[in-house]
Structure 1
Amino acid sequence: MDMGFFNEIGEKVELPRQDLTLRYGENSHEAAFVYGKPQFELLHEGKQLSYNNILDAESAWVLAKNLNVVGGGCAVIKHQTPCGVAYLRNDTDEEKINVIRKAIEADSESSYGGILATSFSLTLDMAKSINTYLEVIVAPEFDNEAVEYLSKKKVRLIKPLEYTPFAGKVAFGSLVLSERKFEGEPERLFGEEFNINEVKFALVVVEAVKSNAIVLVKDGVTVGIGGGQPSRKRSAWIATTLAGEKAHGAIAASDAFFPFTDGLEILMSAGVKCVAAPLGSIRDEEVLNFAKEHGIAFYKSPIRLFRH
């Protein structure tokens, strides 16, 4: 297949073809191709990997690895979008089993058939605690007993190698790449002081959600996720609708600035008490004044977290 990749001076570039055959492309009637060597070990392949499996698995792994800024955790992904995410309060095996359960149960309907990734090694007891059907499990290490137990199922087991993640798309016959970085510390501008790990957790998750993302978290787990919308207001409505009563007292994170106060109004009406977001809008002052007047704590994100 001629993909038509070219360098900066217009010369055609032949990309190395990796000997990895995928079941099918984005849809079952479409072929899929892998160029370059995927940086993972496939410990078990219950059924052949597909194009979507690889993209979802990487989305889950990058999010799980970013959770290390709050001590680690677990993420469940479907269609490159988080279904549920939870972070560790301590480093015990009991807590790790607990966050696996929390991440799945945060949206158990969407988690079914998803991809689960942990920032920590997966033991047999952790593997046995998984109570839903999954397409792929990704972890930095798997105990032999866990591999043996999970290999009796159709789930694929992926152990990532060390590599630098990029965001990218194929466009106009070329491969367009962007660096993917999560860095810096949120800064409280005003209002009540919230658990800084909860604020950072919300920002880590919102970085993994597509376009105009709004994420609500409470007590170490996601309670509402809205994204993939052309309007931030719509994402706020989706996140708060999914959260329901759990939005009361929750922390909301936005992947970019609020261009108007309407998104904040939806969050405030749902009971959100803290917002973390980047600044940069010509209406920043209006947005911040609105939050302050309505008793909402505001944390400034050091970076924009937008993913297309």
Structure 2
Amino acid sequence: SIAVHKVESLRYGENPHQSGAYYSHYRDSLPFGAKQLGGKQLSYNNILDVDAAWRAVNSFDDPTVVIIKHLTPTGIASAPTIAEAYPLALRADPLSAFGCVMAVNRTVDDNFVEQLDSLFIEAIVAPGFTPTARTALNEGRQNCRLLQMSQPYDTTEYDIRSVHRGLLIQRRDAGDPSGVTWKTVTNRLPTAEETKALQYAWKACQHVKSNAIVVAKSHYTCGTGGGLPSRVDAAILAIEKAGEHAKGAVMASEALIPFPDTIEVAAKAGITAFIQPGGAIRDTKVIEAANAANMAMVFTSVRHFRH
């Protein structure tokens, strides 16, 4: 059995004509057991995006900024400080970032707040806020929700979704950070810089709704294509978002590449290395396309569908 208690009623659900509430199996008094330090009450959609953002940012050890819109990262970047990471995360898709939820894995300080400029942000999620940063945000962004999270994201729990006449329950996807199953399948091995970028792209791609494609460099995403029925269309969108930054970048796909077309599109954009699970019927054709483009390709043998 699943025991939960009602934490709070929400103004409405996903849409204004739907009722909504937040329940927890912990004795929390606020969603996520967080402290809300400013802004309006969290909405149903805010809660979903906060969860996705906090989940994603906790995948990274370095100071990292994750920008989320409708459960999908529009940009992820890591740097020596979150203030330095923010412009890189925003650059990946500044248009989609409007009305975003933003998560960081370091304390929000004045330097970070100064970088935000006039971007409309629904919520900022962080392990902490300095007093002056909190004051600046509350005075300049009165409706922006500020959430101080007390715990890192728990990947040992279960994902639960309701379906007609039942529930689907699964263990959360905790990723595959060790890379022990990775294998280079092309003639050319990835360079050290490409390997670093492939690791980053693979980690980021796990948080994008399927079909998911991420274009990335060593410490930031350049473009994302997610939630599309066609994988090659997801690649085209990711490349479009990346623009000139696609050249010399790498590409990740959270599931296998069924046809060479995605590789051909990537090569035309200047992608130099690719990471994917492998296991398609036409793997040989896909590998041949990568070799023809002098592209390094890594198979992970692990899939990360996200629906």
- Give the letter aligned to residue 80 of structure 1: L
Q: Unpaired runs of 5+ in structure 1?
A: 1-6, 8-12
Listed one character per residue, the Cα deviations across residues 218-274 of structure 1 (whole Å, up to 9, x for unaligned) are 353222211111111111111112223221111000001111111111111111111
Q: Partner of 1:20 in structure 2?
A: 8
Conserved 8 A contact 1:42-1:156: no
Alignment of 1:236 with 2:222, yes or no, is no
- In 2, Cα distance between the equivalents of 1:219 and 1:253? 13
1:116-155 correspondence to structure 2 within 5 Å: 116-131=102-117, 132-152=119-139, 153=141, 154-155=143-144
1:35-184 correspondence to structure 2 within 5 Å: 35-36=23-24, 37=26, 38-68=31-61, 71-88=62-79, 90=80, 95-131=81-117, 132-152=119-139, 153=141, 154-162=143-151, 163-165=153-155, 166-178=158-170, 179-183=172-176, 184=178
Q: Percent identity?
A: 32
- In 2, Cα distance between the equivalents of 1:46 and 1:158? 9
Listed one character per residue, the Cα deviations across residues 72-120 of structure 1 (whole Å, up to 9, x for unaligned) are 41110000011111112x3xxxx32110122123211111110111121
Listed one character per residue, the Cα deviations across residues 152-209 of structure 1 (whole Å, up to 9, x for unaligned) are 2211111223352444422124332322211232444442414233211101111111
Q: Partner of 2:252 in structure 1?
A: 253
- In 2, Cα distance between the equivalents of 1:285 and 1:143? 54
The 4+ residue runs of structure 1 with deviation greater than 4 A are none
Conserved 8 A contact 1:64-1:72: no
Conserved 8 A contact 1:73-1:85: yes
Secondary structure of the corresponding residue to residue 35 of structure 1 = strand
- Give the letter aligned to residue 127 of structure 1: V
> Do the aligned partners of residues 45 and 23 (structure 1) sit closer, same or farther apart at CA in structure 2, a change above 3 Å counting?
farther
- In 2, Cα distance between the equivalents of 1:105 and 1:243? 9
Q: Partner of 1:306 in structure 2?
A: 305
Q: Which moved more, 1:252-261 or 1:194-203?
A: 194-203
Listed one character per residue, the Cα deviations across residues 108-162 of structure 1 (whole Å, up to 9, x for unaligned) are 1111110111121211221232121200101122222222222222111112233
Q: Partner of 1:31 in structure 2?
A: 19
- In 1, Cα distance between the equivalents of 2:260 and 2:37? 49
- Give the letter aligned to residue 21 of structure 1: S
> Do the aligned partners of residues 67 and 241 (structure 1) sit closer, same or farther apart at CA in structure 2, a change above 3 Å counting?
same
Number of aligned residues: 289
Conserved 8 A contact 1:87-1:201: no
Query: Deviation at 1:62?
Result: 0.9
Q: Partner of 1:3 in structure 2?
A: none
Query: Deviation at 1:44?
Result: 2.3
- In 2, Cα distance between the equivalents of 1:199 and 1:96? 22
- In 2, Cα distance between the equivalents of 1:16 and 1:251? 43
Secondary structure of the corresponding residue to residue 287 of structure 2 = helix
- In 2, Cα distance between the equivalents of 1:267 and 1:142? 40
> Do the aligned partners of residues 29 and 302 (structure 1) sit closer, same or farther apart at CA in structure 2, a change above 3 Å counting?
same
Q: Unpaired runs of 5+ in structure 2?
A: none
Secondary structure of the corresponding residue to residue 298 of structure 2 = strand
Length-normalised TM-score, structure 2: 0.87
- In 1, Cα distance between the equivalents of 2:159 and 2:299? 24
- In 1, Cα distance between the equivalents of 2:167 and 2:38? 28
Q: Which moved more, 1:157-166 or 1:227-236?
A: 157-166
